[in-house]
Amino acid sequence: MDIEKSGGHNSEFVYNEFEPVPEEMRKNNSSELFTLWFASNMTIGDFAIGFIPVLLGLSLGMSLFSMLLGSVMGSILVAFMSRTGTLTGLPQMVLGRRAFGKNFGIFMTVLQWINTLGWLTVNLILASFAFSLAFHVPYYEISIILMGIIIFLISNSGRKSISYFEKAMSVILGILFTIIILNAGLHINDIYAYKPSSFGFGVAFGITLATSFSYLMSWGPYAADYSRYNKTKNAFIYTFSGGLIATFWAEIAGVFVAIMSLDPSGNPASDLNHVLGPYGIIGLIAIFLGGIAADALNLYSNSISLKSTGLKIKRIYSVIFGIVIAIALAVALYTKFYSFYEDFLFLLDYWITPWLGIMLADFFIVNRNEKFNIKTIPGLNISGISAYFIALIASVPFMDPGIIFEGPISKLYLGGVDISYYVSFLLALVLYPVITKVINRNNIQSHVK
58: phi then psi, degrees, rounded to nearest 5: -75, 145
pTM as predicted? 0.90
pLDDT in tens, 320-348: 999 999 999 999 888 776 555 556 655 77
What per-residue confidence (pLDDT) applies to 108?
Answer: 95
Q: Is a pLDDT exceeding 60 seen at residue 447?
A: no
pLDDT in tens, 134-185: 899 999 999 999 999 999 999 999 888 999 999 999 999 999 999 888 887 7
Average pLDDT over the chain, rounded to an integer: 88
Give yes or no for a contact between 345 and 214, defined as CB atoms under 8 angstroms apart: yes
Residue bearing the bigger pLDDT, 375 or 320: 320
What per-residue confidence (pLDDT) applies to 345?
Answer: 57
Say what percent of the chain tops pLDDT 90. Answer: 57
28: phi then psi, degrees, rounded to nearest 5: -65, 135
46: phi then psi, degrees, rounded to nearest 5: -65, -40
Which of the 8 DSSP states describes residue 372?
Answer: P
pLDDT in tens, 206-228: 999 998 998 899 999 999 999 99
Residues 6+ apart with CB under 8 A from 283: 130, 176, 180, 257, 272, 273, 275, 276
Give yes or no for a contact between 168 and 309, defined as CB atoms under 8 angstroms apart: no
230: phi then psi, degrees, rounded to nearest 5: -105, 160
Q: What is the mean pLDDT of residues 405-423?
A: 90
What per-residue confidence (pLDDT) applies to 191?
Answer: 84
Residues 6+ apart with CB under 8 A from 323: 120, 148, 151, 152, 155, 299
Q: Is a pLDDT exceeding 60 seen at residue 398?
A: yes
Round to whole Å and give the CA distance between 250 and 258. 12
Nearest to 209 by CA among 62, 387, 405, 7: 62
Round to whole Å and give the CA distance between 263 and 333. 24
146: phi then psi, degrees, rounded to nearest 5: -65, -45
The CA dihedral of 21, 25, 30, 32, to the nearest 10 degrees, is -90
Round to whole Å and give the CA distance between 293 and 288. 9
C-alpha triplet 367, 241, 126: angle, nearest 5°: 105
pLDDT in tens, 106-133: 999 999 999 999 889 988 988 898 899 8
Round to whole Å and give the CA distance between 62 and 414. 18
Q: Which of 92-96, 199-203, 268-272 has the highest mean pLDDT?
A: 92-96
Strands (E), 282-383: none
Nearest to 93 by CA among 429, 428, 382, 351: 351
Round to whole Å and give the CA distance between 411 and 405. 10
Nearest to 44 by CA among 265, 285, 291: 291
Give yes or no for a contact between 225 and 94, defined as CB atoms under 8 angstroms apart: no
Round to whole Å and give the CA distance between 410 and 203. 10
Round to whole Å and give the CA distance between 41 and 45. 8
Element (H, E) at 3: strand 3-5
Give yes or no for a contact between 91 and 224, defined as CB atoms under 8 angstroms apart: yes
What are the Cα distances from residue 89, in Å, to 108, 147, 251, 309? Answer: 19, 31, 33, 17
Element (H, E) at 440: helix 420-448
Round to whole Å and give the CA distance between 172 and 409. 45
pLDDT in tens, 8-17: 434 444 457 7
Q: Which of 42-56, 108-122, 301-315, 379-393 has the highest mean pLDDT?
A: 379-393
Round to whole Å and give the CA distance between 285 and 299. 21
Q: What is the mean pLDDT of residues 387-410?
A: 90
Give yes or no for a contact between 247 and 55, defined as CB atoms under 8 angstroms apart: no
